[in-house]
Amino acid sequence: MSQLPKRYDPLVVEEEVLDFWNKEKVYDKTLKLRSSGPKWNFLEGPPTTNGFMHVGHARGRAMKDTQIRYMTMRGYDVWRRGGWDMQGLPVELEVEKNEGIVEKGLIDSNVGMDVFVQKCKELVDFYLERWVNDSIRLGLWLDYPEAYQTRKDDYIEHVWYFLKMANEKGLLGRGYRVNPTCPRCVTALSGHEVSQGYATKVDPSIYVKFEMVDRENEYLVIWTTTPFTLISNEMVSVHPKYKYVKLDVGGEFWWVVEDLVEVVMEKAKVESYSKVETLTGKKMLGWKYRHPFHDEVPFHQEHDEKYMHAVVTGKHVTVEDGTGLVHTAPGFGPDDFEVGKEFKVPVLAPVTTSGKFTDEVPMFEGKLVFDTNVEVSRLLKEKGLLVHEETVSHEYPHCWRCDTPLIYLADKTQWFLKMTGLRDKLVKANNDVEWTPKWAGTGRFGDWLANADDWCISRSRIWGSPLPVWVCDDCKSEVVVGSRKELKERAIEFPEDFEMHRPWVDEVVLKCEKCKGEMHREQFVTDCWLDSGMAHTASVDYLKDPSLFNRLFPYDFITEAVDQSRGWFYSLIYTSVVMHGSAPFKDCVSQEHVLDEDGGKMSKSRGNVVWAKDALETIGADPFRIFMLTRSASWSRMNHNQKEIDLIRKKLDVLWNVVLFSETYMELDKFKFDEKRMMKFLPEANLEDKWLLSRLESVVKEYHEHMDKYLWHQAGRVLLEFITEDFSRVFLPLVKKRVWLDSENPKKVMAYDVMYYALQTFIRLLNPFTPFICEKLHKDFLVRFADGLPESINLTDMPMLVDKLLDTEMEATFDVLQELRTASSHARNKKGVKLRHPVAKVTLIAEDKETSKRAESLKELLLDDLNTRDFEAVLTDILAEFTQLSVKPNYKALGPRYKDMMKQLVAQLQKVDAVKLRDDLEKGIATLEVKGKKLELVQGDVDFEESLPEHLSYADSKIGKVYVDVTRTKELEAEGLVRDVTRRIQVMRKEMDLKVEQSIEIVLHFSDNESVELAKMFEDHLKNETRAVTLDLVGPDREPGWKKYSYIKEWEIDDLKLKVGMAAR
RNA sequence: GGGAUGUUGGUCUAGCUCGGUGAAUGACAUUGCUCUUAUAUGGCGAAGAUCGGCGGUUCGAUUCCGCCACGUCCCA
């Protein structure tokens, strides 16, 4: 029969439990057990298999597991297929790094795209294995063997299927997108790449005036650090709220933002100028100007749209530098692009991806844009439009591979999923979702959804789901292919070893149905969020057999971190609304991130990432899980903090220790739990038994209320508080007295039954949070002391509320007890009266009738508990009885009048009846006889202070005022002394390793005779308590025969010195 | 740069949805006292926060609004 180790070591426990689960196939058994239960379907948000699992991932996964285990124990047949997101840019970047690939163009020549893709597969497989291992170590019970992988052909096929459907619904289309582009690598860069490459760059900084149309001699003054973009200028943006002024600069009028007038005038070397007119920006909307390169660039001559070559408004305008009028070229900047879209100005982007002007700009055709800056300035100067020219050095994005300055460039070949006509449906679908917390969904996500733009899904990449669009070389007609089968049918030639990845898919050429020409694939892959977004359908292989999908959809529950709002939550809803007309999930819990100890972001570059594996292998999964789950609400950020984990781990220590305590005595008494017996005898049970069971049921109730709302942190906190506060600190000390009774004693059996019942219930409730320790305690404790339990706690049912055990009146009564304990300790503490010294009386002046009734009902228990001879609960504050009025002379008033009589007067004042004196003074004059003289006192001569009489100590509490009468009598002192002595003898018995029933002989040598006398009053009691056959009490004037005693020890009890001799007999 | 979200004793946190009681909750750490034959515990005290800063709404704001600083997330 195995025994629990003395100390809780999570690592040892968890290793053992993992082994047990593995050997006994416990997970499979839970599936089988619940297979006929009601369905509850969880959709796993697939982690990206690049990099390892860190503690932030692990927190989210702990939440998933807790919910899953909870539902399983509630009897549900839980769908929980795992999933992995395996494609995308980060994988490529790591492979490029590993392979030393600098330029993407090199892939074909040096490595070969097929080899590259192979490397990507190997990399994600490597990470996949670690993710699975770490997840299992964390205790996350998912279906791993059947887990979906976004890189599989079957999965990608669903993405194609979706895109074809989207296209048929008119939602797929081409559009412009402004990308940071490296002209040397001839590729667009992702935001992530851009942020890696900021560096200082020296650029021209020019101030240019644009001649206005219909406003004679007036000019708009703009500023730019990229002169070449002026070629493609279409608008000038002003801020709608800023004030702009028209300046007379000697024959010409210039428009500049008011805040920057002086700066601009100084740069332009205009010494005298005057303000002619002031306007807010929005009034300038629509003002036309003549493009500075109107004559040179044919494109500009054709312009006649309303806002072309006109002033528009935008909030991106600042007054930090420049002129407050921002030159806007929609093809060359994200802000510019947005403005262009808003004012319906078409994009002009006469520059190739390699950064060279096209034939649309005849004067610069074939020239690299940066190289034209000087020329642009020169031309402007010639035209007399250059106001000022200088250079600035600023932070500018560079290519992280080759350090070439990037160009923001509009690219019209990108593919989009449109929002047109869909927005309302998405918002409505989202409103049907139950979000936790509510504001994250309807507010944060809902607002964002209502304003979401078209979704750019094309990526100029390799390792991803290929965009299934083929375009005819000749007639340019397009076809979106929806499946592998369809592709094969339309292919001119279909390779044997086909795979739905680049480069294989690129090699498939289709025949154009219109012109019989050749069709080639658009060389994009799709955004990997589209992959994971299809999980609702693709994860269950809908295309092969939709029956499983039909059973599961919509899923009951998903949970991911906030960064998924724009990611997974969005892509799920978008694709599902398009395909199935509704959101694919019913409940969604939003999580926040885990930060480092100082609240900083965890990142590889900072080196502050805590990997899940390390955390799990050093602190253990259970302490980690309970920390992550209870420390803060799922939607609040949290800091990873070792100190805090240690604190919460202590609570698991407490659980372990209370079980250990129970086990020790239950083992001794050969106890077997019998629920019927417990219920039968419960009416006669001790107060604390009924109380504990009622508390337990309150916990069960609250726990389920929280769990039903996915408030794991609340549910967990309720549990931890119960075990540490109620069970360990309150109940066990009360029960301890009973474990020494005979093993057959019904009081003791009841204590065991209650302990067992409470622990069994508790451990099951806790199991979803800390499955390892709970499994261990189930196996090695619960199973041993009851019949008919299954081998694993995961095969048991979640305890539900047992109404008949709930007794709120009992709990309220017990609260009174706790309050009285606290208050009495406080009052004792004030007077320095230790608990083991009995006091004469404790009085409660209760707040209300119920409290006093409850307190009275506890009287017997209280006498023992508070160690008092008497207890009374009364309702009214009988002030006179408990307070004492004392007189304080006012020396400043009395001194000058009574001078040398002061000493006697003061002495007399202490003796006088203070209440009477106060009453007299209130009426008028009081007289006092001192040394035969009658002295007169008036108000102000003395102050009165209310104080407690010496023998009383007072403490306030939530339930009323508590007075403790600490009057010392001989008997009370004797009792206290005997308790002191008894305790020390018991300590010595333990140190001698005596059996409980072993008799002894004792001598007590006191340092004063008074103590001898006191001890004699309780001689028999002392003998009984310590199982002494002989007891010799000796004072300071005699030295006992020490030789007789085998164990001698000296003690100090306050001032008393005590030497104890002891021998077994 | 835009949007979102947060900032409470030395540390970590509760409360803030729907502003109002008197001491803003609890834990750790500090400190005084104390209990205990389950516990690397526990109990009673002391001390410690003008609830990030500044403004506004209001009779009244930690709680609502705005701006600023700092952190974080998403987008650019």
Q: What is the pLDDT of residues A465-495, one digit of tens each?
A: 999 999 999 998 999 999 999 999 999 999 8
Confidence of residue A767 (pLDDT cuts 50, 70, 90): very high
Quote the pLDDT of residue A191: 60
CATH of domain A641-791: 1.10.730.10
| Residue from A10, A21, A46, A980 carrying the catalytic annotation | A46
Q: Which residues of A in 620-639 have their CB below 7 Å from strand B's atoms?
A: 631-633, 636-639
**Cβ-based contacts (< 7 Å) between A 311-330 and strand B:** 315-316, 318
Across A179-206, average pLDDT: 73
- How far apart CA A261 and CA A277 sit, in angstroms, is 13
Q: Which range among A284-298, A933-947, A1023-1037 has the greatest average pLDDT? A: A284-298
Nearest partner of A326 among A335, A755, A665, A981, judged by Cα:
A335
Q: Which residue has the higher pLDDT, A12 or A261?
A: A12
CA atoms within 13 A on the CB side of A163: 28
Strand B–CB A505 distance below 7 A: no
Mean pLDDT of all residues in A129-149: 96
Does the nearest atom of strand B lie within 7 Å of A1051's Cβ?
Answer: no
Q: A85 with A49: CB under 8 angstroms?
A: yes
ipTM: 0.86
Instruction: Locate A291 and state its tokens.
Output: 């493009």
- Do residues A162 and A468 lie in contact, with contact meaning Cβ atoms separated by under 8 Å? no
A604 as an active site residue: the answer is yes
**Strand B: which of residues 926-955 in chain A lie with Cβ below 7 A?**
955
The segment with the largest mean pLDDT, out of A204-208, A520-524, A790-794, A822-826, is: A790-794
Nearest one of A140, A146, A147, A149 to A53, comparing CA atoms: A140
Q: Cα dihedral sign for A275, A279, A280, A282?
A: negative
Pick from A37-41, A350-354, A622-626, A883-887: least confident = A883-887
Nearest-angstrom CA–CA distance, A587 and A582: 13
User: Beta A325-328 vs A187-188: how paired, if at all?
Assistant: unpaired
Model confidence over A528-548: pLDDT tens digits?
A: 889 999 999 999 999 999 999
Q: Dmax of chain A from CA atoms?
A: 138
Q: Is the pLDDT of residue A178 over 70?
A: yes
Which residues in A517-633 belong to E strands, given as ranges?
Answer: 518-521, 525-526, 555-561, 585-591, 594-595
- Chain B: positions less than 7 Å from a protein CB are 1-6, 11-14, 23, 27-28, 32-45, 71-76
Q: What does the pLDDT look like over A680-704, one tens digit per residue?
A: 999 988 888 998 999 899 899 889 9
Q: What is the pLDDT of residue A135?
A: 96
Q: Tell whether the model's pLDDT for residue A44 goes beyond 90.
A: yes
The identity of residue A648, as a single letter, is I
The DSSP result for A573-594, as a single string, is: HHHHHHHHSS-SEEEEEEE--E
What Å value separates CA A972 and C1' B45? Answer: 25
Q: Please, which residues have CB within 8 angstroms of residue A889's CB and are 6 or more apart in sequence?
A: A905, A906, A909, A941, A942
Q: Which fold has domain A884-947?
A: 3.30.720
A65, A85, A531, A587: the active-site residue: A85
Single-letter code of the amino acid located at A844: L
Strand B close residues, chain A 562-581, CB < 7 angstroms:
562-563, 565-567
pLDDT of residue A80: 96
Residue A604 neighbours by CB distance under 10 Å: 9
CATH of region A37-168+423-435+529-640, choose from 3.20.20.70, 3.40.50.620, 3.40.50.300, 3.40.640.10: 3.40.50.620
User: Residue holding tokens 């399983």?
Assistant: A72
Examine domains A192-402 and A884-947 and report if their fold is the same.
no
Provide residues 350-409 of A with CB closer than 7 Å to any strand B atom: none
CA atoms within a 13 Å half-sphere pointing along the CA-CB vector of A209: 25
- Whole-angstrom CA distances from A122 to A94, A110, A146, A147 are 12, 19, 20, 18
Between CA A631 and C1' B49 the distance (Å) reads 21
Nearest nucleotide to the CA of A818, by C1', is B43
User: In whole angstroms, what is the distance from residue A1017 CA to residue A65 CA?
Assistant: 64
Nucleic strand B near CB of residue A549 (< 7 Å): no
> In the predicted model, what is the mean pLDDT of chain A?
85
Q: Which of A529, A611, A656, A712 is catalytic?
A: A529
- A1023 catalytic? Reply is no
Q: Is the dihedral of CA A653, A655, A656, A661 positive or negative?
A: positive
Specify the pLDDT at position A1.
47
> What is the Cα–Cα distance from A449 to A617, expressed in whole angstroms?
41
The pLDDT confidence band at residue A408, using thresholds 50, 70 and 90, is: confident
Helical spans, DSSP H, in A799-945:
808-831, 849-857, 859-865, 879-882, 891-898, 902-911, 914-923
Q: Kindly determine whether the C-beta of residue A642 is less than 7 Å away from any atom of nucleic acid strand B.
A: no
Q: CA A745, C1' B47: Å apart?
A: 49
Percent of chain A with pLDDT over 70: 92
SS3 A907: helix
- Contact flag, residue A1049 CB and nucleic strand B, below 7 A: no
Question: Reduced to 3 DSSP states, what percent helix, strand and coil does chain A have, rounded to the nearest 5?
Answer: 45, 20, 30
Asked whether residue A832 carries a pLDDT value surpassing 50, the answer given is: yes
Q: Which residue has the higher pLDDT, A295 or A520?
A: A520
Contact of A728 with A755, CB cutoff 8 Å: no
pLDDT surpassing 70 at residue A103: no
A992 CA to B56 C1' distance (Å): 75
Which of the residue ranges A19-28, A288-297, A427-436, A944-953 would you say has the lowest mean pLDDT?
A944-953
pLDDT band at A133 (very low <50, low <70, confident <90, very high): very high
Condensed to tens digits (0 to 9), the pLDDT of residues A382-403 reads 988 888 888 877 767 777 667 7
* Strand B contact at CB of residue A883, distance < 7 A: no
Nearest nt by C1' to A599 Cα: B71
Which tens digit of pLDDT belongs to each residue from A977-1031? Answer: 777 787 778 777 777 777 767 788 888 888 888 888 888 888 887 887 778 888 8
- In this complex, the answer to whether residue A882 has its CB under 7 A from any atom of chain B, a nucleic strand, is no
Catalytic site residue from A400, A463, A568, A635: A568
Most confident range, picked from A355-369, A525-539, A810-824, A840-854 = A525-539
Q: Choose between A294 and A598: higher pLDDT.
A: A294
Share of chain A above pLDDT 90, in %: 30
A689 is an active site residue: no
Give the model's pLDDT for residue A777: 95
pLDDT digits 0-9 by tens, A633-662: 887 778 888 888 888 888 898 999 899 989
CA of A706 to C1' of B52 (A): 32
- In this prediction, residue A924 has a pLDDT band, given cuts at 50, 70 and 90, of confident
Cα–chain center distance at A465: 33
Q: Which nucleotide is nearest to A824 (CA to C1')?
A: B44
Asked about A254 being catalytic, the answer comes back as no
Task: Identify the CA nearest to A984 among candidates A1040, A1043, A1047, A1037.
Answer: A1047
Q: Which of A415-419, A899-903, A957-961, A1058-1062 has the highest mean pLDDT?
A: A415-419
Q: Residue A809: how many CB atoms within 10 A of its CB?
A: 11
Which nucleotide is nearest, taking the CA of residue A996 and each C1'?
Answer: B37
Strands (E), A55-185: 77-79, 81-84, 143-149, 172-182
Task: List the Cα angle A973/A979/A985 in 5-degree steps.
Answer: 135
3-state SS, residue A305: coil
pLDDT band at A102 (very low <50, low <70, confident <90, very high): low
Give catalytic status of residue A428 as yes or no.
no
Residue A1054 has pLDDT above 90, yes or no: no
Cα–Cα distance list, A364 to A224, A380, A403 (Å): 19, 15, 24
Assess whether A454 (CB) lies less than 7 A from strand B.
Answer: no
A521 CA → B6 C1’, Å: 47
Categorize the per-residue pLDDT at A945 as very low, low, confident or very high, splitting at 50, 70 and 90.
Answer: low
| Domain positions in chain A | 37-168+423-435+529-640, 192-402, 468-523, 641-791, 812-881+951-965, 884-947, 970-1064
Rounded to whole angstroms, the Cα distance separating A560 from A567 reads 10
Task: Tell me which DSSP letter residue A793 carries.
Answer: G
Is the Cβ atom of A717 within 7 Å of strand B at any atom?
A: no
How far apart CA A398 and CA A193 sit, in angstroms, is: 9
pLDDT at A224 over 90: no
Cβ of A989 near strand B (under 7 Å)? The reply is: yes
Q: One of A23, A269, A604, A899 is an active-site residue; which one? A: A604
Count Cβ atoms within 10 A of the Cβ of residue A26 and give its class: 0-12 exposed, 13-18 middle, 19 or more buried.
buried
> If you measure CA to C1', which residue is closest to nucleotide B4?
A444
**Where does the pLDDT of residue A892 fall: very low under 50, low under 70, confident under 90, or very high at 90 and above?**
low
pLDDT (mean) for A817-829: 82
For chain A residues 822-861, those near strand B by a CB cutoff of 7 A are 822-823, 825-826, 829, 832, 834-836
Looking at domain A192-402, does it have CATH number 3.60.21.10? no
Find tokens 């796993």 and name the residue.
Answer: A44
Residue A843 has pLDDT above 70, yes or no: yes
Other beta carbons within 10 angstroms of residue A354's beta carbon come to: 15
Q: How far is CA A557 from CA A62, A634, A1056, in A?
A: 15, 15, 69
Q: Does the structure show a pLDDT above 70 at A885?
A: no
Q: What is the pLDDT of residue A680?
A: 95
A88: left (phi over 0), alpha (psi -120 to 50) or beta: left
Q: Please report the pLDDT score of residue A125 as a whole number.
A: 96
Residues 6+ apart with CB under 8 A from A518: A472, A473, A474, A492, A509, A510, A511, A512
pLDDT for position A889? 66
Tell me the mean pLDDT in the region A619-623.
Answer: 92
pLDDT at A776: 95
pLDDT at A601 over 80: no
pLDDT at A190 over 70: no
**Among the ranges given (A61-70, A347-356, A963-972), the one the predictor scored with the smallest mean pLDDT:** A963-972
**Sign of the CA dihedral running A295, A297, A303, A306:** negative
CA A465 to CA A641: how far, in whole Å?
40
